[in-house]
Amino acid sequence: MAKTLRKKYFEKKIESLHTLDPHSWWTKTKRFLYSSKSNPLEGLEDSQSDATIAGVINDFLVGISTGLPPIDLNVLSDLRDDYTDDFVIDPSEVHKRLSSITIHKAPDPDGIPNLLLCDFSSCTCTV
């Protein structure tokens, strides 16, 4: 009986998620899955040293790339032509796009929180 009641409880919880807007859906889903921390970079504070903050951000970014295959250096020999002029990106365009990101949406597959991208968008103009 307990197993049946537990199953019905979770089915009801999942069914109620279908009627929510994306922001509420994501919030309730995290709460439903008992995710206590939605953002691994939430604990950063201004009072921490720059080295500590840099270390936490570095560890986060390393964690994102752990599943990527290593770069094949043999491919570099095929890149003889210089295409850099074809792919020039203006820093002000990067700032404009990053600052307009909706922070309440889920991050892209890279896992970088949208709030972080939006907050640091002004740093792109100093490049």
- 57 within domain boundaries: no
For residue range 63-89, what is the model confidence (pLDDT) as tens digits? 777 777 887 888 777 776 777 777 788
What is the structure's pLDDT at 74? 80
Token pair in block for residue 110: 């890279």
How far apart (Å, rounded) are the C-alpha atoms in residues 21 and 101? 18
Alpha helix stretches (DSSP H) within the chain? 2-17, 22-32, 50-65, 91-99, 114-119
Find the largest Cα–Cα distance for the chain: 70
Q: Name the domain count of the chain.
A: 2
Domain of residue 25 covers 1-35
- 108 within domain boundaries: yes
- 45 within domain boundaries: no
- 61 within domain boundaries: no
The conformation of residue 65, written as its DSSP 8-state character, comes to H
Is 23:105 a contact under the CB 8 Å cutoff? yes
- 56 within domain boundaries: no
- 75 within domain boundaries: no
